[in-house]
Amino acid sequence: MESFNERESRKKEVIAIIGAGISGLLACKYAITKGFDPIVFESESSIGGVWSKTIESTKLQTPKPLYQFSDFPWPDSVTEMFPDHQTVLEYIESYARHFDLLRHIHFNSKVLSLSYEDGEPSLSGDWNDAFSSKGKWNVNVQDTLTLSTQVYQVDFVVVCVGRFSQVPNIPEFPPNKGPEAFEGQVIHSIDYSKMDSTTATNFVKGKQVAVVGFQKSGMDIAMESSTVNGKRLFCDLPLTLCRFIVNLD
């Protein structure tokens, strides 16, 4: 007969994965293949990360063959080299369904805090040390619908929230020289991307828009604004060029 200690040793280590974007889904699938029990906490009601809430006109800026899962190629039905954001999201959702990842995901679950009990967490980077029996992680999770909280105890935590997860990059302005000095309305691209197509169109229609920032979201917003207003009201896109002086002497 199997002893209690033997049964305990056969239990799967539980891994908490924060975020159900592409990185979170990959971490979930990898954990399953290695025999672990993953729990994915996603604060939103759907998977996809940045692709689940993005600007209506956004398309993939990387050629499709360079932006795909190594074990799940794009379907033959997608013929565009740069698919739109909805097609990308459908591809990500198909990946999750194909590998049965959705049953591991807790939606509307926002991680509020992490704490470690019984010893110091290993920082050596060694996979075996990470699952030491000396300690456990406490994951404090809030249900965003009911605002109730629950603490999950796990063996390991993987943070997959991404660089652009609900954290707007807003520069610091000198006193009285920031948005408060501007008579118009100032919003961040994150807030714009949360609008549906009709709301976004009505928001920029009939307005002269200045977009600060020259990355992908800035270019997409500038294009949408120009499409809505045409030549009558142009869209400003200030650009700062960095120039480097190299002394070759």
Helix (H, G, I), strand (E, B) or coil at 181: helix
The C-alpha atoms of residue 181 and residue 218 are separated, in whole angstroms, by 22
Task: Give the whole-number percent of the chain exceeding pLDDT 90.
Answer: 46
Task: Tell me, yes or no, whether 72 and 141 share the same domain.
Answer: yes
Tell me the per-residue pLDDT of 149-184, one tens digit each, with 9 for 90 and over. Answer: 999 999 999 999 976 666 667 778 888 888 888 888
Task: Tell me, yes or no, whether 41 and 143 share the same domain.
Answer: yes
- Better-scored residue on pLDDT, 71 or 171: 71
Task: Tell me, yes or no, whether 33 and 120 share the same domain.
Answer: yes
What pTM was estimated for this model as a whole?
A: 0.74
pLDDT tier at 130, thresholds 50, 70, 90: low
Tell me the per-residue pLDDT of 192-204, one tens digit each, with 9 for 90 and over. Answer: 888 888 888 888 8
User: What's the chain's Rg over C-alpha atoms?
Assistant: 23
Task: Tell me, yes or no, whether 149 and 228 share the same domain.
Answer: no
Q: Which domain holds residue 98?
A: 4-159
Q: Containing H/E element for 224?
A: helix 216-229
Task: Tell me, yes or no, whether 150 and 236 share the same domain.
Answer: no
Which residue, of 100, 125, 159, is where some domain finishes?
Answer: 159
Task: Tell me, yes or no, whether 81 and 130 share the same domain.
Answer: yes
For residue 50, which phi and psi values (nearest 5 degrees)?
-65, -25
The C-alpha atoms of residue 64 and residue 74 are separated, in whole angstroms, by 8
**Which among 43, 17, 41, 19 is positioned nearest to 31, based on CA atoms?**
17
Task: Tell me, yes or no, whether 89 and 181 share the same domain.
Answer: no
Q: What is the CATH number of the domain that holds 121?
A: 3.50.50.60
- Better-scored residue on pLDDT, 239 or 23: 23
In this structure, are residues 18 and 162 in contact, taking their beta carbons and an 8 Å threshold?
Answer: no
The C-alpha atoms of residue 102 and residue 29 are separated, in whole angstroms, by 10
Q: How many domains does the chain have?
A: 2
Kindly state the average pLDDT of the residues 43-50.
93
